Amino acid sequence: AKNVGILGMEIYFPKRYVDQQELEKFDGVSAGKYTIGLGQHRMAFCDDREDINSICLTVVQNLLSKYQIPVTSIGRLEVGTETIIDKSKSVKTVLMQLFSPHNTEIEGIDTTNACYGGTSALFNAINWVQSESWDGRLAIVVAGDIAVYASGNARPTGGAGCVAILVGPDAPIVLDTGLRSTFMDHAWDFFKPDLNSEFPVVDGKLSVSCYLNAVDQCYRKYIDRFEKRHGMAPRSATVNDLDYFCFHSPYTKLVQKSFARLAFNDFLRSDQPDKWAKIGDLDRFKSMKVDDTYFDKDLEKTFMAVTKDSFKSKVDTSLLAARDLGNMYTGSLYGGLASLLSEVEPTQLVGKRIVLFSYGSGLASSMFSFRVVSPPTDIHRVLNVRARLDSRTRVDPAEFDATMQLREHTHNAKGYSPEGKLEGLFPGTYYIKQVDEKFRRSYGRF
């Protein structure tokens, strides 16, 4: 198939959020730490009525109905998530309730590696449509998580949400073939060894340096390939040759730093020292050991200043959902793409290239891009991200904290009916009705 890419997109996030400024006060940290230091405004969260199955049911049902997709037209459906509630049964099989009995021939299962599973699922789906195994039907990729951390410094970087992507041929948003780059390695930056807990074990500082190293590694390969593809002189391309960027966003400040990091890479690989000399004396950064560069304030400040305007025009628009929802783990990057497509006029996007950086701790990362070949008008209309974010309900931090405790106490419970009130959900949301004595979960739709 030709021009394989994104035909449709839908996002789901919970109705309730906590305000990060109020959370700063509640947690007793200095004013500005979460809002300015981490760049987060609001954080979405779920009570015990929702789990990974229910949020995926909601987003897929909404995708099918909003785009009027017949269930028989889907030939592949897979889920990227790290929110594990069963060691064997995939979320995908739960989603089959939306298709069975009309369509029970749908390939794909779940893919897991921290925040990267959605990207692996997307690559699988696109590869399938491009392959000889393709049967002419469409694919759906679901990427989402309920991201919760133990109380403490990582808690404000939680979040919740889910994105569903319809993949097929002749798309308005087409994957660039031959450009994507990948960097994978073994690291203990963030992992979930304790299946009795929803919380990860996280080494915050290490996770940031792993993320920035992955940015370096993926970008260098991506930009080399970009130059070759476009017949450009080696080491001549920079971020200015690319139109828009979406990053996996654990918190938006890290994305701003990562974009600055791309400019640092442009400087290191540039064959035009005179151009960079105009900005100032940057040579001191050339001789630094790479491990010393990740947290060097002088370097960070310099390249954040270099990219101040380009960050505004190329990146900031994609951070709407990340700032207002928090980290959706696998959904975060695609919430970024959804924000961009929802915020920018569809006709203005035509001819533009969107670069995506995906990172999952542990670690797996890729950089790849899409080109917009025709106005993604339906996607823009359906997503409507800003208005939907603004239609949510603010909950005070004490109630948020109590809800986190409720989730902790009921994690893995059996013979259990959730306490969460249904009014806390958007209409049309799937919720857990009951978990029986054999841990079997049943769902209803509000």
Tell me the catalytic residues. Answer: 82, 115, 248
Minimum gap (Å) between residue 156 Cβ and ligand ACO? 6
80-105 as b/e: b if 16+ CB within 10 A: bbbbebeeeebbbebbeebbeeebee
Kindly tell me which of 190 and 311 has the beta carbon lying closer to ligand ACO.
190
> Is residue 123 within 8 Å of residue 139, measured between CB atoms?
no
Length of the chain: 446
Is there a binding annotation on residue 213? no
- Two tokens at 127? 């590869």
Minimum gap (Å) between residue 128 Cβ and ligand ACO? 27
Cα first-last separation, the chain: 39
Dist CA 111 CA 82 (whole Å): 8
Kindly tell me which of 241 and 296 has the beta carbon lying closer to ligand ACO.
296
Kindly tell me which of 152 and 444 has the beta carbon lying closer to ligand ACO.
152
- Two tokens at 136? 């002419």
For residues 325, 326, 331, 333, the Cα torsion angle rounded to the nearest 10 degrees is 110
Dist CA 20 CA 35 (whole Å): 6
Partners of 139 in the β-ladder: 76, 167
Minimum gap (Å) between residue 153 Cβ and ligand ACO? 3
- Two tokens at 31? 């004013």
Kindly tell me which of 157 and 307 has the beta carbon lying closer to ligand ACO.
157
Minimum gap (Å) between residue 115 Cβ and ligand ACO? 5
Q: By CB under 6 A, name the binding residues for ligand ACO.
A: 30-33, 36-38, 115, 153-154, 157, 190, 202, 204, 207-208, 211, 250, 254, 361
Kindly tell me which of 357 and 431 has the beta carbon lying closer to ligand ACO.
357
Kindly tell me which of 74 and 147 has the beta carbon lying closer to ligand ACO.
147
Type of residue found at 81 = T
Minimum gap (Å) between residue 344 Cβ and ligand ACO? 25
Is there a binding annotation on residue 90? no
CA 446 to chain centre: 26
Q: Token match 């299946």: residue?
A: 195
Q: Token match 């419970």: residue?
A: 413
Minimum gap (Å) between residue 58 Cβ and ligand ACO? 23
- Two tokens at 339? 């924000």
Q: What are phi and psi of 443, to 5 degrees?
A: -125, 150
| CB-nearest residue to ligand ACO | 37
Dist CA 446 CA 443 (whole Å): 10
> Is residue 350 within 8 Å of residue 375, measured between CB atoms?
yes
Binding-site residue numbers for CoA are 153, 207, 253, 257
Binding-site residue numbers are 153, 207, 253, 257
